[in-house]
Each structure stands twice: as C-alpha cells, then as structure tokens.
Structure 1
C-alpha cells in the first residue's frame, strides 16, 4: 500500500476517534439545558465529561497536524477556503473549555452554562457543514484556491449535513449520559435518546444517500452499518442495556465517518470542476516526509491509545449528585 493511501486512512481514523469521543462531549453540552433541572444536576452532567473532554480534543489537534504534514496542499486550501467556519469552531471550543473549567469556580453558573451549550452546538453543526462541503465539492481554481464565499458553503446539502451531525452527536451524548448517571438524570437521558433515535436515523441516512457514491460498495456498506448502529442503539436503549446502546451509537458514528471518507477517495478535496480537485497524489508531501511520519506514528500512537483507555477505565463509574 502506498504511503499516501496509508496516511489518508490514518487521517480518517483520527477524525473517527475525534467524532466518537468529542461527539458525546458535544451531545452532553447540547443536552445541559434540557436535562439539568437544578444546579446539582447540571454539575453532575458537566462532571461526566470533566476528566476526559480535553483529552478528546487531542484527536482534533493530531488530525490537523497530520493533515498539515502529510497533505500540505489539502491543509492550505481547506483552512483558507473554510477559514470563517473553522475560526468559529475554534472560538466555540475555547468558550466551551473555559466554561467547563470556570463554572465550578464562580458564584453564578448561568453564563458559563450558556457558553457550554453554544460551544457544543456550534461545532456540532459546523463540522457537519464542513464535511458535507468536502464530500460535495467546492469551487477551486487551477491553483487549488477556493473561489467561493461563506454563502457557497451554506448550501442546502451542507445544512443537511450540519443537522445530521447535530442529531447524531446529541443522541450519542444522551446515550453516554444514560451510561454515566443514575436516577432521574439517567431516565431523562434515556427518554431523549428514545425520541431522538428515529429522527436521527432518518436525517443521517438521508444525508449519506444524498451524498451519492454510486459504484462504491465499501461506502454503501458503511451507510448500512450506520443505519444498523442507530437501530441497535434504539433497541438497546429500550431494553435498558446502556453499555450496548453506547457501543451501537459509537459504531454508527464510526460508520458515518467511514462513509464520508470512502466517498472522498481518491480525492481529499474535490472541486466542482474535477480537473482542479485535490487528490492523495497532488496534495501529498514527499515520500521521505511520509516515511518519517509513519515511523513516528507507529511508535507513539499505541502509547496515546493506551493512556486514553486507562483514563476512561479510571473514570468509568456512574455519577450521582453526591459526586
């Protein structure tokens, strides 16, 4: 397998890890005003992700760094053309991080809770908009420079993608809360999950089907797996099997990301004019750079995965108001 293919797959894996882990963080933040009836419940909701949210964001940093090093042309075009949406995501992530750190150090938490909510909803929406545009294709000239505007990115298909990711992450967060809380909080999260699952299934599958991909059996297998994961999450939630529900929800997120990236290949950023598209070939770094990066990834990736797995194991118990 060529190193360009290896790094395309590795970047897809990094985005998958980010959306699986940060996805339920976003969902928890979106659900805070819906489930948090009083300060004790809101504190418990925030505490479910308190020890892990910053570690989950490392996946985004590594995905961005890997893209910059392995496919610099892709990175340059993406971050210049999508500058405003990505800048808004950055501001939202900063606001959310500050809110999580300071809400317990302030006499009034209302403002921090608003920042937590909007700092979760904004990225959940904008990541869907960004990836929908990447799959659909954007206007690029012969120099691979973006020639559109913000309104170009806010097309109906992109907004459908944003709605799909908001619903998917909110459902993922609701199921995560059923796994990590007890009592009325858990029952409330389960009710939301049961309500959201059918809507999420409809919107996500509509989005993936609208993305096309004729003649790509792997992509359609991923679409089918996403549907199966969402159905499995609903069934497990109805039966009170929280662990299986979360596993099925995570599988659905993995399958959605797999469907997007298999739809991209061999492009990394398709253009409306196919002659100007960025591919794994014309956007890649030199073979030497990719070789060095491969050795670094082979050594350090298992260490990072082991540390993060240990973190989740330590903080695996359910939380109550007393915690």
Structure 2
C-alpha cells in the first residue's frame, strides 16, 4: 500500500472520529429545543457536552489539516468549490462556541434565550450541511480539466445531497438523544429514550433510502458490507434504546456513523472527488496527493501526535463520565 493510500484511510478515520464525537453534541444542541421543557433542563443538556464539545472539534481541524498537507489539490478544490457551505459551517461553529461560553454571563432572560436560539441553529445547520457536502463528494461534482470546480451553489443542493443532509441531521440528533439518555437522570432521561425511538425510526427510513441510492450508483461488495453493518447497527441501537440499555445504544449508533462514513470513502476510492463532467478529470489519491517525502514526514508526526490526542480525550471523557440531572443544577443568581 502506497503512502497516499494510507493517508486516504487516515483521513477517513479522522472524519469518522469527528462525526462520531461532534455528531452527538450537534444532536444535543438540537435537543435543547426538541427535548428540554424549561431552562433548567436546557442547562442539563448543555452541561452534558460542556467539558467535551471543544475537544471534539480537534478531529475536524485534524481532518482538514491532514487533507491540506496530504492532498493539497483535493483541499483546494473542495474548500473553494464548496466555499459558501463551508463558510456557513465555520460561522455556525464559531457562534456555537461563543454561545456556550457567553450564555450564562448575564442573568437577563432575553440574553440567555438568544444564545439558546444560537446553540440550536448553529448545531442544526452544520449537521445538515455536512451531509450535503459529503453527498456531493460521493456523487461527483463539476470539476474541469484544471481540477477546478465550475458548478454553481445551486448544483450542490441536488436531491441526493439534500437527502444526505437529512440523513446526517436525523442520525446526529438520534445519536444525541442516546447520549443524553446515557448522561442524564430522572424524567429527562426517560423522555430522551422515548424521543430516540421516534427519531431512530425516521433516521432508519431516510438512511436506508440514501445508502441504497449510494450503493446503486457507486457501490461494490465492500461498500455493500458497510451498508449492511450501518443498517444492522442502527436497528440494534433502536432496540437497545427501547430496552434502556443506553451504553449499548450509544455504541451501536456510533457504529452506524462509522459504517456510513466508511461506505462514503469505500465508494470514493481511488477517487477523492469524482468529476461529473469527465471521469478523466476526477481527483484521485494519485493526482491530488503531495510528494512521497511530505507524506513520509506526516506519517511520523501523525504516529506520535494521534495517540496523545486520543489518550487526552479518553481521559477527559473518563473524568466527566457521571450522569447529571436537574438536581445538580444550581439556582440562577
């Protein structure tokens, strides 16, 4: 296996880690409107992800940085052609981080309500747009002979990509309900499980249609295996959630996300961005990669840094592993 193939796999792993971790905190952000009944319950939900949300975004920085260094042509075409959706995602991530930090800085109800609206929308929009972005990457976009995107913004919002956005939105929200049930106590935990059943059914229907569409267009035997794993894991997560086995439900919803991302990358390889205009103009792991010396240095750096990041994040989740409930929320001043 060549180094550019190794880095294709590593970037797939980084995106999997990002969607697994950031997926549930996007979902919790959406649940501040769908699940919480009052401000105290919103504080409970926000506190479940408060110690970890910023660490989860390290995976996005790593995935983007690895793409820039290992596949500069892929990075340039992706971030220039998808400039407006990517910019909107970036703005949402900034607003969301500010909202988490500033929401409790002042006691006025209007101040806190506005930041709660910001948390909801800045969680919902990226959860949808990431599906649109990856849907277009898998489907193929208008790339010319100069490796430049020549389509319009409207081309990105095609039926396949919109369905992909709905799948990631519902899947992340379901992942968030399972995480909320795992991390809370009392009535909010029970209601999170109930909401998870309804969301899980909707997610299963949307995901099944989207994955079958993907398999029919670009799939092979390996992607079919990933499709089966994703569907079985999602059904298993639903069953575990109904039985109140939150740990199993969370693990299986994570497997669903991982298998879905794996299917994306399996249908892509050896392309990284297929061209819908001419197959010969597609970006591949070969023509979009850096030189072997750069990839070799990156491999050594990643081999040292990645385990350290994973150990640190694992320690963070272990420290903040206990459940919380409304009884743990102090009265507002």
Q: Where on the TM-score scale, by shorter chain, does this alignment land: which range?
A: over 0.9
Q: Which residue of 2 aligns with 1:73?
A: 73
Q: 1:95 to 1:214 in 2, by over 3 A?
A: closer
Q: CA deviation at 1:39?
A: 1.3
Q: Paired residue for 1:216, among 209, 217, 220? A: 220
Q: CA deviation at 1:322?
A: 3.0
Using the alignment, how far apart are the partners of 1:49 and 1:253 within structure 2?
19
Q: 1:115 to 1:215 in 2, by over 3 A?
A: closer
Using the alignment, how far apart are the partners of 1:293 and 1:321 within structure 2?
46
Using the alignment, how far apart are the partners of 2:62 and 2:207 within structure 1?
26
Gaps of 5+ in 2: 329-333
Q: CA deviation at 1:37?
A: 1.1
Q: Which residue of 2 aligns with 1:294?
A: 299
Q: Which residue of 1 aligns with 2:185?
A: 182
Using the alignment, how far apart are the partners of 1:39 and 1:124 within structure 2?
23
Q: Which residue of 1 aligns with 2:331?
A: none
Q: Which residue of 1 aligns with 2:322?
A: 317
- Give yes or no for contact 2:218–2:267 (8 Å, CA) kept in 1: no
Q: Which residue of 2 aligns with 1:128?
A: 131
Q: CA deviation at 1:165?
A: 0.3
Moved more, 286-295 or 30-39: 30-39
Q: Which residue of 1 aligns with 2:27?
A: 27
Q: Paired residue for 1:159, among 156, 159, 162? A: 162
Using the alignment, how far apart are the partners of 1:307 and 1:228 within structure 2?
31
Runs (4 or more) in structure 1 with deviation over 6 Å come to none
1:47 aligns with 2:47: yes
1:246 aligns with 2:253: no
Q: CA deviation at 1:71?
A: 0.1
Q: Which residue of 2 aligns with 1:114?
A: 117
Q: CA deviation at 1:215?
A: 5.9
1:259 aligns with 2:263: yes
Using the alignment, how far apart are the partners of 1:308 and 1:249 within structure 2?
20
Measured on the aligned residues, the alpha-carbon RMSD in Å equals 0.9
1:191 aligns with 2:194: yes
Find the residue that maps to 1:322 and give its secondary structure: helix
Q: CA deviation at 1:34?
A: 1.7
Gaps of 5+ in 1: none
Tell me the alpha carbon deviations over residues 180-200 of structure 1, each in whole angstroms, 9 at most, x when there is no partner.
Answer: 001111011101101111211
TM-score, structure 1 length as denominator?
Answer: 0.99
Q: Which residue of 1 aligns with 2:99?
A: 99
Q: CA deviation at 1:61?
A: 0.3
Find the residue that maps to 2:149 and give its secondary structure: coil
- Give yes or no for contact 2:219–2:267 (8 Å, CA) kept in 1: no
Tell me the alpha carbon deviations over residues 290-315 of structure 1, each in whole angstroms, 9 at most, x when there is no partner.
Answer: 00000001111111101100100000
Find the residue that maps to 1:144 and give its secondary structure: coil
Tell me the alpha carbon deviations over residues 69-111 of structure 1, each in whole angstroms, 9 at most, x when there is no partner.
Answer: 0000000000000000000000111111111111121223100
How many pairs does the alignment contain?
323
- Give yes or no for contact 2:167–2:210 (8 Å, CA) kept in 1: yes
Q: Which residue of 2 aligns with 1:284?
A: 289
